[in-house]
């Protein structure tokens, strides 16, 4: 299946990415070639295979993959996926560098579910019974990936890499995170949160505040994600404890800092709780704060944000 960027997003996304005060990241489970084809012309960061590979679009790919990552299980899992692809009409599987995904989105629904159940039994009693892997079951997919590979873990490393390479020189004061993620990957929503939302159901109206001109956009509801950071002029960080105490929850900034892979990442975090917007797309139960009903709502929201750009 060929993945393509929504045509109505081409111009709005370019305008957002061209804003020098905004850093945009596309974090996807897809491989590098898919992101290159769709986003190679934008000024943004691309994170492929759940963040295992990273690059700014004007530079070369780098790997954030831990050296200890064991991939010896790939060949045996591939044989199982090939077997079930042959048995399931209109299904297919993708072999990536850090994971394998079997997709039966276009197969008969009931037959596909039965095959997925059978596949899981084969995997758990055979090729991966002693392997360090996670099996992630989606709505119509089965993915096998190395243990610890999640989008939340990736954004930790990505932020450190961005700061380390001096592409972010001013504090982050707003974050917008939008995605249609599997539950396994929803840790990306809570990465910037001091604690989980009070309830499991996100708010069905996304209220976005544009920090540049003060306008408010209200958007009614109708395995990829978009993260945008907004930056304000640099401030001194000689006394980080004092800065943290100015926020609604005084200790959460230091908690995020402790999770940073590279300590440079902590120097750009100046994020207040009210300035963080996490949006789940098409999922009524989520760790995100807000709900967008469909990809069409995402298009509408990003168009509104692009129109707010100076």
Q: What is the DSSP letter of 198?
A: S
- Quickly list H helices, 150-246: 151-164, 187-190, 240-245
| Domain at 74-146: CATH code | 3.30.70.1020
Bridge partners of 141, per DSSP, are 103
Could you count the other beta carbons within 10 Å of the beta carbon of residue 217? 16
- In this prediction, residue 144 carries a pLDDT of 93
pLDDT at residue 302, as a whole number: 92
Note the pLDDT of residue 229: 57
Helix axes 295-307, 10-18, angle to 10 degrees: 50
Query: Domains of the chain: which residue ranges?
Result: 7-52+150-307, 74-146
Strand partners, 26: 46, 226
As a whole number of angstroms, the distance between CA 143 and CA 250 comes to: 39
CA distance 221 to 200: 17
Q: What is the pLDDT of residues 168-202, one digit of tens each?
A: 666 777 889 999 888 888 888 888 775 444 444 55
pLDDT value for 154 = 82
The per-residue pLDDT for 15 is 94
CA triplet 54, 55, 59: central angle to 5 degrees? 155
The list of the chain residues with pLDDT below 50 reads: 195-200, 205-222, 232-267
Of 49, 54, 9, 8, residue with least CA distance to 30: 49
Give the Cα separation of 136 and 79 in Å (integer).
Answer: 18
pLDDT digits (tens, 9 = 90+) for 247-290: 333 333 343 334 333 334 444 556 777 888 889 998 878 888 88
- CA 75 to CA 81: how far, in whole Å? 10
């Amino acid at each position: 299946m060929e993945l393509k960027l929504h045509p109505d997003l081409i111009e709005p996304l370019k305008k957002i990415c061209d804003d020098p005060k905004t850093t945009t990241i596309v974090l996807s489970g897809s491989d590098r070639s898919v992101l290159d084809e769709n986003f190679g012309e934008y000024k943004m960061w691309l994170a492929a295979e759940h963040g295992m590979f990273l690059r700014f679009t004007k530079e070369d790919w780098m790997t954030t993959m831990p050296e200890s990552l064991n991939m010896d299980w790939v060949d045996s899992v591939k044989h199982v996926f090939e077997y079930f692809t042959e048995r399931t009409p209109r299904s297919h599987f993708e072999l990536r560098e850090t994971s394998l995904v079997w997709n039966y989105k276009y197969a008969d629904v009931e037959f596909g579910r039965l095959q997925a159940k059978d596949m899981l039994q084969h995997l758990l009693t055979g090729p991966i019974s002693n392997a360090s892997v996670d099996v992630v079951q989606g709505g119509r997919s089965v993915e096998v990936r190395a243990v610890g590979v999640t989008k939340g873990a990736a954004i930790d490393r990505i932020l450190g890499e961005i700061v380390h390479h001096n592409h972010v020189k001013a504090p982050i004061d707003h974050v917008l995170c939008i995605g249609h993620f599997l539950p396994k990957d929803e840790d990306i929503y809570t990465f910037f949160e001091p604690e989980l939302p009070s309830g499991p159901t996100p708010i069905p109206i996304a209220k976005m505040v544009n920090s540049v001109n003060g306008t408010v956009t209200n958007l009614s509801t109708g395995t990829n994600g978009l993260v945008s950071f907004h930056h304000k002029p640099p401030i001194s960080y000689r006394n980080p404890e004092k800065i943290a105490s100015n926020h609604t929850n005084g200790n959460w900034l230091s908690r995020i800092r402790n999770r940073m892979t590279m300590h440079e990442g902590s120097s750009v975090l100046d994020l207040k709780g009210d300035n963080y917007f996490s949006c789940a797309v098409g999922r009524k139960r989520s760790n995100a704060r807000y709900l967008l009903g469909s990809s069409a709502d995402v298009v509408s929201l990003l168009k509104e944000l692009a129109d707010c750009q100076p």
